Amino acid sequence: MPKLVDHEERRAHIIDALLRVAADTGLHAVTMRSVAVEAGVSVRLVQYYFDTKEQLLLAALTRLAVRMGERVRERVRATGPSTAPRDIVEAVLLEAVPTDEESRTFHLVYTEYAVLSVTDPALADQSFLAAPNEMEDFLVGQLTAAQQAGDTDPRLDARQEAVVLLAVSAGLGLSVLLGQRTTSDAVAVLRYHLGRLFPGSGASDGCGKSGHANQRRP
Amino acid sequence: MPKLVDHEERRAHIIDALLRVAADTGLHAVTMRSVAVEAGVSVRLVQYYFDTKEQLLLAALTRLAVRMGERVRERVRATGPSTAPRDIVEAVLLEAVPTDEESRTFHLVYTEYAVLSVTDPALADQSFLAAPNEMEDFLVGQLTAAQQAGDTDPRLDARQEAVVLLAVSAGLGLSVLLGQRTTSDAVAVLRYHLGRLFPGSGASDGCGKSGHANQRRP
DNA sequence: GACTTGGTGGTATGGTTGTACCACAAAAAT
DNA sequence: ATTTTTGTGGTACAACCATACCACCAAGTC
């Protein structure tokens, strides 16, 4: 047993334990002990693979960011090679609303990190802004492409619309996390808004009233 | 000195100290001691006016919610008695993006509470959803009024648009909190989106490209 | 076979936290 | 004048935290 061990695997295992703990008791409740228990190892081991708690938290954040990026790219790839901008945009934005359980965990913990980063200097310089900024540029590209293809109103300001899209998906994702809205309602709202941006695409043109009342959680 | 004391005043004083601490070191760093120091009183006093830490946190949250409501109502009142729906909607939504320092403090701490409430059972049943739901209904009312007045496209789904508005303001507010966007950029984006919802109102019709690049923070 | 190195468990330690407890001063009530 | 009641300070305590330290075991190296 105490032979040579795959460090990366062990680290991933421990980090996953951390994410689970953070997801159901809060990031503030993450301690060396709770992570060790959840991972089924001794505290000493957690210490061994991540020298200090701060490094553990940082490593977990990094892994989180990587996985998020993977999920987005995977989702875009799943739409097929040469899809219309509208579908690509939809795929990207839909990743921001928690669907499956893994996604919910990721977004919850990521949000906890983001809020923490406002006050914690150790997380502050950790670049939370790179990903959203990159996403913004990407969306601007898709929107201008759509404009040139005649799929959307050329008089729109692509950058502003991109920011709006990002904001609405973040806001919807947050409201789902907080239990204010169901996942499917959030998805419906997002699709509605996209329907308004890209008129004449898909089943809904986004201009008719939706038949079903937009139910809230009880 | 140890005469009769205005309890509410003292409690408010201590809660304000808590909000200050939470705003610049994080809600997780709020301890009986730090609050006492910030308020310039002894720990015993904090214990005296709020029996337990949990009650202190709950009281602070309540005060926060009350102040938020006041600010929104105040802002709406400031637009004048019989203003157009667009301006009322704008006023309400602008309150969600941190402008002055007090607003920033409120939103940061409120967001910290909201995120905490996802995992903390003590905050869970604390109704975080009442205010947003109320706001949603209010917005729906304003939008349908605008539709009947011919200020906005009658084919739009008022409820969905209201949800989008709420989401975009929440998302923008969050991005300002995280330092991704400046306050004025967020305000500009919000105004842009309103311009698209209410065509032909105000200086910008929301269809022209904005001349200035939408600068990000460095 | 001696010995270094990587991996692991257990435990000690110094610090922090929420809270309970004790003492005491001054006003109010009797 | 004495006895409550109200407000306040200080301090003690049990729990928990991150981390440092010590012992040990097994594989690979010489």
Pairwise CA distance, residues A153 & A157, whole Å = 9
B13 CA, D3 C1': separation in Å? 33
Say whether the CB atom of B4 is under 7 angstroms from strand C. Answer: yes
All structural domains of chain B: 1-51 (1.10.10.60), 68-215 (1.10.357.10)
Chain A closest-CA separation from residue B4 CA (Å): 38
- HSE-CB at B150 with a 13 A cutoff on CA atoms is 0
Q: How many CB pairs under 8 A join A and B?
A: 150
Q: How far is the CA of A60 from the C1' of D13 (A)?
A: 36
Residues in B touching A169 (Cβ below 8 Å)? 167, 171
State the pLDDT at residue B202: 54
For strand C, give the nucleotides within 7 A of a protein CB. 6-11, 16-21, 25-28
Task: Determine the distance between A27 (CA) and C8 (C1') in angstroms.
Answer: 27
**Token representation of residue B109:** 């701490």
What per-residue confidence (pLDDT) applies to B205? 42
Strand D interface, protein residues by Cβ within 7 Å: A 1-4, 30-34, 43-44, 47, 51-54; B 1-2, 4-5, 7, 10, 41-45, 47-48
Under DSSP, the state recorded for A209 is P
Query: Taking Cα atoms as reference points, which of A107, A100, A78 lies closest to residue A90?
Result: A78
Nearest CB to B115: which of A112, A172, A180? A112
- Rounded CA-CA distance B55/B88 in Å is 36
Q: Which residue has the tokens 């406002």?
A: A118
What does R_g of chain B's alpha carbons equal in angstroms?
20
Residue B7 C-alpha, separation from nearest chain A C-alpha, in angstroms: 31
pLDDT tens, N- to C-terminus, chain A (218 residues): 445 778 899 999 999 999 999 999 999 999 999 999 999 999 999 999 999 999 999 999 999 999 888 999 999 899 888 789 999 999 999 999 999 999 999 999 999 999 999 999 889 877 778 889 999 999 999 999 999 999 999 999 999 999 999 999 999 999 999 999 999 999 999 999 999 999 976 544 434 444 444 455 44
Distance from residue A116's CA to nucleotide C13's C1', rounded to whole Å:
29
Nearest CB to A115; choose among B115, B192, B210: B115
For residue A161, give the nearest of A133, A197, A131 by alpha carbon: A197
Nucleic strand C contact set for B 15-34 (CB, < 7 Å): 30-34
- Please tell me the distance from the alpha carbon of residue B132 to that of residue B116, in angstroms, as a whole number: 17
Whether nucleic acid strand C comes within 7 Å of the CB of B147, the answer is no
Record: contact B167-A175, CB cut-off 8 A: yes
Residue numbers in chain B where pLDDT is lower than 70: 1-3, 201-218
Structure confidence at residue B218 (pLDDT): 46
Residue at token pair 């959203």: A132
DSSP B3-55: S---HHHHHHHHHHHHHHHHHHH-GGG--HHHHHHHHTS-HHHHHHHSSSHHH
Burial degree of A5 (CB within 10 A; 0-12, 13-18, 19+) = exposed
Q: Which of A167, A179, A180 is nearest residue B172 as measured by Cβ atoms?
A: A167
Query: Nearest Cα to B16, choosing from B5, B30, B2, B4?
Result: B30
- Residue A140 to residue B37: CA distance in whole angstroms: 49
Distance of B47 CA from D6 C1′ (whole Å)? 15
Report chain D positions within 7 A of protein CB atoms.
Answer: 6-11, 16-21, 25-28
Q: Which residues of A touch B184 (CB under 8 A)?
A: none
Give the best residue of A25, A27, A28 to mutate against chain B (max B CB count within 10 A). A28
State which amino acid sits at residue A106: F
Question: How close B3 comes to chain A (CA, Å)?
Answer: 39
Which nucleotide is closest, CA of A32 to its C1'? D18
For A123-152, letters b (16+ CB in 10 Å) and e give beebebbeebbebbebbbebbbebbeeebb
User: What are the structure tokens assigned to B182, written together?
Assistant: 């400046």
